[in-house]
Amino acid sequence: MGDVFAHILDQSEPIGQILAAYRNGRLPHGVIFAGPAGVGKGTVATALAKLFLCDDGKDVYAMGLIDAGTHPDFHLITKELIRLTSKTSKATTLSIDVVRDHLVAPAMKKSVTGKGKVFVVEEADLMQAAAQNSILKTLEEPAGRSLIILLTPKPDDLLPTIRSRTQIFRFGQLSDKTVFAQLKLRGHDPKTAESATRLADGSLGVALRWIEDGVVAQAEDLASHVNGLLMGRPTADLADWLKSASDAYAVRQIEKDELTSKDNATRTGIIVYLDLLARQFRKALRETDDDQLLERLCEAIDAVYRAQSYLESNVNISLALQQLGSALERLFSVSIVSR
């Protein structure tokens, strides 16, 4: 029964808990897989679906359908499904329309195979409040044998009424050894794999995505900006650098998906590079014993997180960067704001 999980690394604790609940018939209709992005939550969800829908992982043909995304009772719900019900190309939240059409409605229907139904909701924390409320009855009284798996790095962003009706399984970071080995297995050269591993904080998904999106290649350049800030030397305008790097990031996203909104992709790119900036500050934090610098670095990290929060809340990009620039200028006497 546990063979479907055999290929999953560094998540033995949540897998053991999930298997125990399943074997004992105590797995609830709704579960939350909580943990950082890119550590295997989705992979474990797919493996659990194979237990649930494929005779405890014995029906090879049915498992192949799940892997191919064509199993009639396996439903993957993502924010991008909005494009099927709306003309918009923007996919920033999980709308009530998506959740109703792809979860609530099919959950009320009979299983096609007679084995039950599994719904996996990616980035469940992005569900609008109305969307979350719309699944409460389904969680409470599912029609037939059903399993709803909510994947999220931010379980506290889900409504208390959702959390009270589900069981939470918590996933941790992968080891650097695992991330590095998996990157090499996928054909990445040792230098790139080492750099990506160092930046990814135990997330194979982040490492792979950042290599593909050119973020890892930009890390050394960003590090030079950070070193300049810490040494009090004037550096090239970091706001311009962020804009240039995020524009390149947006181009890559549009090349992968022509329906991607350039504005959203650029905003996401800046958020990604701000995340990288915060990691550079945390690295400097670990390497110094200067009390004054420690305090300034902590304030700088807070300023970066505030800027990310503003951008995620759709605050004007220039305004968010101006506020970040003012904070870093005050801390390090170097402006990062375009003039």
* DSSP sequence for 247-288: HHHHHHHHHH-TTS-HHHHHHHHHHHHHHHHHHHHHHHHHH-
Distance between CA atoms of residues 33 and 149, nearest Å = 7
Helix then strand count (H, E) for the chain reads: 17, 5
Cross-strand partners of 152: 34
DSSP secondary-structure letter at 80? G
With cut-offs at 50, 70 and 90, classify the pLDDT of residue 147.
very high
228-250 mean pLDDT: 78
Overall average pLDDT of the 175-179 stretch: 97
pLDDT, tens digit (0-9, with 9 covering 90-100), for 26-52: 999 999 999 999 999 999 999 999 999
Q: In the chain, which segments carry CATH 3.40.50.300?
A: 2-170
pLDDT at 337 over 50: no
Contact 116, 53 (CB under 8 A): yes
pLDDT value of position 89: 55
Going by the DSSP 8-state scheme, the letter that residue 11 receives in this structure is: -
320 Cβ contact list (under 8 Å, min separation 6): 307, 310, 311
Flag the least confident range among 112-121, 171-180, 258-267, 275-284. Answer: 258-267
Q: What was the pLDDT predicted at 153?
A: 96
SS3 141: coil
Q: Is the dihedral of CA 328, 334, 338, 339 positive or negative?
A: positive
- Tokens for 209? 């995505």
Residue entry with tokens 């930009």? 218
Q: Is the model's pLDDT at 1 over the cut of 70?
A: no
As a whole number of angstroms, the distance between CA 167 and CA 179 comes to 28
pTM, to two decimals:
0.87
Cα-based angle 216, 217, 221 (whole degrees, multiple of 5): 105
What tokens does 113 get? 């195979």
Q: φ and ψ at 149, to 5 degrees? A: -115, 115
Locate tokens 């589900």: which residue? 166
Q: How far is CA 166 from CA 2, 12, 48, 79, in A?
A: 22, 21, 16, 21
Contact between 242 and 249 under an 8 Å Cβ cutoff? The reply is: no
Handedness of CA 86, 92, 94, 95 (dihedral sign): negative
Report how far residue 213's alpha carbon sits from residue 269's, in angstroms, rounded to the nearest whole number.
9
Give the per-residue pLDDT at 338: 40
| pLDDT for position 230 | 79
Mean pLDDT over residues 67-73, rounded? 97
**Predicted confidence band at 174 (pLDDT cuts at 50, 70, 90)?**
very high
Amino acid identity of 62? Answer: A
The answer to whether residues 77 and 85 touch, using CB atoms and an 8 Å cutoff, is: no
pLDDT band at 335 (very low <50, low <70, confident <90, very high): very low
Tokens of 23: 């074997």
The span from the CA of 32 to the CA of 92, in Å, is 21
CATH 3.40.50.10090 for domain 2-170, yes or no, is no
Confidence of residue 308 (pLDDT cuts 50, 70, 90): very high
Task: Give pLDDT, residue 152.
Answer: 98
